[in-house]
């Protein structure tokens, strides 16, 4: 976004070979250069949104603004061994077999992080912080759920929403597991936060902009309700592990490709239902089971 003599960059894309050059080409199409960037503001600390913040801020000599609850991303970079061990333990407790865990461990040992370097925000992007641009002033709204560090930006005169991954054109639910007490509940509250803004046009972090913001909010709420009901229903007959529930809840088999994604979500729904008193965790070794309360 243009801002005086320079630009404000919202989110950076992941850091992969050639990605900075791609960004420079895109900026060139818009008549700008990397050196014109006056500020990098990231909607959240997932690699595809802040991965290039380091090199961009270095080149442009500008600040990074991001929400301080970014330990979900920072820890994976500063302590990769610990992060892998934690993921394996979560998978083990979910009921993933030892044979599969061994294969999985080999695959995630050296993951490309998509983050160029660990860079701390110069300023915390928390509720009420404002970013001035030629389109007007944008206000920060904290919207945790998808990630603990997630924020949306709203421009009230134009009723424009920069939604990051909180609200996408295609409804796709994802929550970071294990960093906050109840990611699903937090996501629901964040949908209400955005609903109250009355946005007219949503510019999402992926895909095309869309105008029917309220319908998208409702679609997200409906899918969350549906998933919660499916998780509770999957426990109606007997206690089960998260792995045992997945095929029924999502109506698809658990595969190496979808396992981390679907298990993480399922654990977040179980956590939400546990806090609501609907389900109870039955600790076990190696896997925990869940039953109706
Ligand atoms: Zn994300
Ligand atoms: Zn994303």
Q: Where residue 81 falls among pLDDT bands split at 50, 70, 90?
A: confident
Among the ranges given (6-15, 65-74, 95-104), the one the predictor scored with the smallest mean pLDDT: 95-104
Task: Specify the pTM.
Answer: 0.95
- Ligand with an atom nearest the CA of residue 146: 1
Q: Give me ligand 2 centre to Cα 222, in Å.
A: 21
Q: Give me ligand 2 centre to Cα 214, in Å.
A: 21
Query: Could you read off the pLDDT of 199-234 as tens digits, one per residue?
Result: 999 999 999 999 999 999 999 999 999 999 999 999
- Ligand with an atom nearest the CA of residue 206: 2
How big is the CA angle at 68 (ends 262 and 34), to the nearest 5 degrees? 95
Summarize the confidence of residues 98-106 as an average pLDDT: 84
- Ligand with an atom nearest the CA of residue 48: 2
Q: Give me ligand 2 centre to Cα 292, in Å.
A: 34
Q: Give me ligand 1 centre to Cα 14, in Å.
A: 11
What pLDDT was estimated at residue 5? Answer: 93
Protein residues within 5 Å, CB atom, of ion ligand 2:
48, 165, 205
Nearest to 47 by CA among 176, 145, 160: 176
Domain limits of the chain? 237-292
The yes-or-no verdict on residue 14 having pLDDT over 90 is: yes
Protein fold of 237-292: Arc Repressor Mutant, subunit A (1.10.10)
What pLDDT was estimated at residue 113? Answer: 83
What is the residue whose two structure tokens read 């997945």? 246
What pLDDT was estimated at residue 111? Answer: 62
Query: Could you read off the pLDDT of 110-131 as tens digits, one per residue?
Result: 667 899 999 999 999 999 999 9
What pLDDT was estimated at residue 109? Answer: 64
The yes-or-no verdict on residue 11 having pLDDT over 70 is: yes
Q: Give me ligand 1 centre to Cα 134, in Å.
A: 27
- Ligand with an atom nearest the CA of residue 148: 1
Q: Give me ligand 2 centre to Cα 53, in Å.
A: 14
Q: Give me ligand 2 centre to Cα 81, in Å.
A: 24
Summarize the confidence of residues 98-107 as an average pLDDT: 83
Q: Give me ligand 1 centre to Cα 197, in Å.
A: 21
Query: Could you read off the pLDDT of 17-76 as tens digits, one per residue?
Result: 999 999 999 999 999 999 999 999 999 999 999 999 999 999 999 999 999 999 988 888
Q: Give me ligand 2 centre to Cα 166, in Å.
A: 9
Tokens of 217: 């909010």
Query: Could you read off the pLDDT of 235-283 as tens digits, one per residue?
Result: 999 999 999 999 999 999 988 889 889 999 999 999 999 999 999 999 9
The yes-or-no verdict on residue 84 having pLDDT over 90 is: no
């Amino acid at each position: 976004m243009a801002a005086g003599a320079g630009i404000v960059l919202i989110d950076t894309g992941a850091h992969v070979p050639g990605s900075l050059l791609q960004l420079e080409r895109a900026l060139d199409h818009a008549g700008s250069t990397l050196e014109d960037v006056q500020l990098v503001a990231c909607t959240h600390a997932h690699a595809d949104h802040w991965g290039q913040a380091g090199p961009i801020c270095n080149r442009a000599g500008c600040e990074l603004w991001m929400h301080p609850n970014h330990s979900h991303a920072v820890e994976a970079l500063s302590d990769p061994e610990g992060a892998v061990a934690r993921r394996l333990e979560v998978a083990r407790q979910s009921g993933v077999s030892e044979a599969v865990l061994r294969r999985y461990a080999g695959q995630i040992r050296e993951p490309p992080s998509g983050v160029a370097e660990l860079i701390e925000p110069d300023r915390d992007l928390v509720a009420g912080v404002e970013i001035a641009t030629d389109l007007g002033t944008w206000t920060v709204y904290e919207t945790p759920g998808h990630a603990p560090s997630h924020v949306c930006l709203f421009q009230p005169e134009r009723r424009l929403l920069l939604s990051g991954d909180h609200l996408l054109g295609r409804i796709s639910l994802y929550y970071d597991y294990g960093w906050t007490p109840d990611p699903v509940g937090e996501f629901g509250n964040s949908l209400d936060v955005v609903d109250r803004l009355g946005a007219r046009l949503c510019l999402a972090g992926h895909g095309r902009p869309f105008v029917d913001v309220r319908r998208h909010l409702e679609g997200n709420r409906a899918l969350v309700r549906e998933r919660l009901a499916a998780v509770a229903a999957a426990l109606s007959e007997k206690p089960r592990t998260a792995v045992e529930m997945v095929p029924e809840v999502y109506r698809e088999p658990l595969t190496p490709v979808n396992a981390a994604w679907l298990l993480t979500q399922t654990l977040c729904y179980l956590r939400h239902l546990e806090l609501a008193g609907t389900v109870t965790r039955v600790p076990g070794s190696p896997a925990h089971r869940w039953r109706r309360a």
